[in-house]
Structure 1
């Protein structure tokens, strides 16, 4: 890989490690330490994800129009200042909420630039460039969640200090080593979703994308419960904080180490539709196990199963979106997929929090199992009209 790809990989791993000290524990801290309801915690996480979406759109626009280096530096600067302020003011729910949202916004600005630069610097690398960033992200999740759980079991204060320290390290790396990124940038390769205001070129394909993304939204609403309601539930039944965090370490390391298995499956089962079907079935099995789990071992088993499903579903939807996209609209379609995933992460904690606050987590699991039928339907139906139009064109 080129030198600057390695630089992006290292920076990504450090950035996500810092973020992963905190994000698995947000709901636990707000609910168990600050005494707020799960629904309230879900609202704050919703605003955090909303700010991240806004940051993504602005970051993509700034990358296209101005400087990759200054965009990453600006986004990282916002995240660093917010993390430092959070480290000293996290006892107040008001300041906690404000700075958590600002961290989401600042971090959101950097991500489209990181991915865009990976493709721009190494276009001949194809998927390998993006896969390198993806693996670095999951390594950071595993490392940060592992360390974060043990640090939080000593004191939550140390978590916020560690989060700020690692963000500061990331900022210094960006400041000192990313200055020449603009020289490597190919401005013609990328467009932001904000620039895609032209008339939709293929309404059939666009409708198909939205049907497909309906199931993707449901999958993310279900998945986000592991970071919110399920996280709080593990504390209610006495599972140590360090063990809960290690669930995300299992998730991250399994994604990194499981790439050969997924490659083997992908070579033998080439249909992305089948990948979604398989992954959704695996999701359902995971939630069935989680629903009856009372020990760390059972939750760990559920997480392993969930991760296998994730590795099948998450890459399949962007791949199908790319196949649907008319020429020159690939970035726009991928932007929609990313926004739908973020919307699921916004809605999920609020939705789950209300159900658990008003009723119980058992009902939430039953509802999630019912909702997970929807991805089967959307995946089955999304391209039906496209096939009909294709057959009509062939007859003509």
Structure 2
């Protein structure tokens, strides 16, 4: 990979490591330390997700307008200050909610910029730059979840301070190395979500992205249960917090070390982006069917392994398609849409899951989630029907992506 991609990968890994100190433990902290029910915990995470959606859309537009470097610095200033203030005021429920929103907004500004920068600095890389960023995120998840679980077992205060310190490290890296990663931008090509839908020549591409993202939203609604309802469910079953954190470590470790395994299947059988999404969605559904019967740690471990295999097919494919759909000068905007939809799933998921679990129980929740994966299969089949001269179901689309 080019040096620029390695810099982005390192930066993403450090950024996500810091965030992963906190996000897998949010629901546990809100419910057990702050004494709030699962539904309220879901609403709190919804507020964090809502702030993230706003940040994603603004961050994508700012990338197209002022560049990634300045936008990331802006986002880091917000996340770093929010993290350290949270470390001091985390015992106040109101302060916790407000500062969690600050973390969500700041992170939302940064992520679409980093994905857009990856596509811009290595345009000939196809799926590779987005897969590299995805792997970097999961290195951060594995490292951060393991360290965060350990710190939480000592004192929850250490989790909040650790989060802030990692943002400081990332801030330093951005200041020294990211300024030279600025891609060239065409003047006068920026737009917003309302204007984009009105541009006739780009409307079909934008509509295709929205259809694809409807399925992406469903995937994230299901996926986010692991950090919300499932985390509390494991505690209620008597599974130690350290073992729950280990699940995320295994998730991240698999994503890093099982890349040759996934590459083999992509090269041999699932070379198109659509095929990769179909396979991943079916695997996702199997994971939640396993969860419906899970009562011991081993069962949760099996479900996490299955889930991880599924996400390795789906998650890198979506931003790759968004990059290929994006008109000139709209790369940041399209990545902002993708990330805002993912954040929307993280927004809706905890409340949806918490409400369903409180009323009907966890087994019903898992069956509903497994059935919902029919929707992304349909949206994947339909999204590119009206895109002339480009299809995502042919092998040639991914011939260089492995």
- TM norm structure 2: 0.87
CA distance in 2 between partners of 1:306 and 1:99 (Å):
31
Higher mean C-alpha deviation, range 113-122 or range 49-58: 113-122
Map of 1:394 onto structure 2: none
Length, aligned pairs only: 386
Query: Within 5 Å, which residues of 2 pair with 1:62-73?
Result: 62-73=62-73
- 1:141–1:249 Cα contact (<8 Å) kept: yes
Map of 2:148 onto structure 1: 148
Map of 2:300 onto structure 1: 299
1:10-41 alpha-carbon deviations (Å, 9 max, x no partner): 22211111100001110111011111111111
CA distance in 2 between partners of 1:208 and 1:63 (Å):
22
- 2:65–2:190 Cα contact (<8 Å) kept: no
Higher mean C-alpha deviation, range 26-35 or range 201-210: 201-210
Map of 1:222 onto structure 2: 222
Q: Report how far residue 211 of structure 1 moved.
A: 3.5
Map of 2:394 onto structure 1: none
Map of 2:74 onto structure 1: 74
- 2:191–2:330 Cα contact (<8 Å) kept: no
CA distance in 2 between partners of 1:376 and 1:180 (Å):
40
Could you say if the C-alpha distance between residues 112 and 206 of structure 1 is closer, same or farther in structure 2, counting changes exceeding 3 Å? closer
CA distance in 1 between partners of 2:321 and 2:122 (Å):
23
Map of 2:159 onto structure 1: 159
Q: Report how far residue 366 of structure 1 moved.
A: 2.0
**Structure 2 portions without partners, runs of 5+:** 392-402
1:255 equivalent in alignment to 2:245: no
CA distance in 2 between partners of 1:248 and 1:208 (Å):
33
Could you say if the C-alpha distance between residues 154 and 57 of structure 1 is closer, same or farther in structure 2, counting changes exceeding 3 Å? same
CA distance in 2 between partners of 1:169 and 1:328 (Å):
31
SS at structure 2 position matched to 1:242: helix
Q: Report how far residue 321 of structure 1 moved.
A: 4.9
Query: Within 5 Å, which residues of 2 pair with 1:130-209?
Result: 130-175=130-175, 177-178=176-177, 180-181=179-180, 184-188=182-186, 191=190, 193-194=192-193, 196=196, 198-201=198-201, 206-209=206-209
**Structure 1 portions without partners, runs of 5+:** 391-396
1:210-243 alpha-carbon deviations (Å, 9 max, x no partner): 4333322211111111111011111111111111
Could you say if the C-alpha distance between residues 352 and 65 of structure 1 is closer, same or farther in structure 2, counting changes exceeding 3 Å? same
- 1:55–1:106 Cα contact (<8 Å) kept: yes
Query: Within 5 Å, which residues of 2 pair with 1:314-329?
Result: 314-321=315-322
1:5 equivalent in alignment to 2:16: no
1:62-119 alpha-carbon deviations (Å, 9 max, x no partner): 3333354332222111111100000011111111111111011112112222223333
Map of 2:314 onto structure 1: 313
1:289-312 alpha-carbon deviations (Å, 9 max, x no partner): 111111211111100000111111
- 2:9–2:133 Cα contact (<8 Å) kept: yes
Q: Report how far residue 350 of structure 1 moved.
A: 0.8
- 1:18–1:144 Cα contact (<8 Å) kept: yes
CA distance in 2 between partners of 1:370 and 1:111 (Å):
30
CA distance in 1 between partners of 2:119 and 2:378 (Å):
33
- 2:113–2:332 Cα contact (<8 Å) kept: no
Instruction: Tell me which structure has the larger Cα radius of gyration.
Output: 1
- 1:76–1:110 Cα contact (<8 Å) kept: yes
Query: Within 5 Å, which residues of 2 pair with 1:229-248?
Result: 229-248=229-248
Map of 2:356 onto structure 1: 355
Q: Report how far residue 370 of structure 1 moved.
A: 2.2
Map of 1:284 onto structure 2: 285
Could you say if the C-alpha distance between residues 129 and 198 of structure 1 is closer, same or farther in structure 2, counting changes exceeding 3 Å? same
- 2:57–2:340 Cα contact (<8 Å) kept: no
- 1:201–1:326 Cα contact (<8 Å) kept: no
RMSD in angstroms over aligned alpha carbons?
Answer: 2.7
Q: Report how far residue 156 of structure 1 moved.
A: 1.2
SS at structure 1 position matched to 2:316: helix
Map of 2:373 onto structure 1: 372
SS at structure 2 position matched to 1:196: helix
CA distance in 1 between partners of 2:387 and 2:168 (Å):
49
Higher mean C-alpha deviation, range 19-28 or range 378-387: 378-387
1:264-319 alpha-carbon deviations (Å, 9 max, x no partner): 11112224333233222211211111111112111111000001111112233444
Map of 2:344 onto structure 1: 343
SS at structure 2 position matched to 1:246: helix
CA distance in 2 between partners of 1:13 and 1:93 (Å):
29
Higher mean C-alpha deviation, range 207-216 or range 48-57: 207-216
Q: Report how far residue 338 of structure 1 moved.
A: 2.9
- TM norm structure 1: 0.88
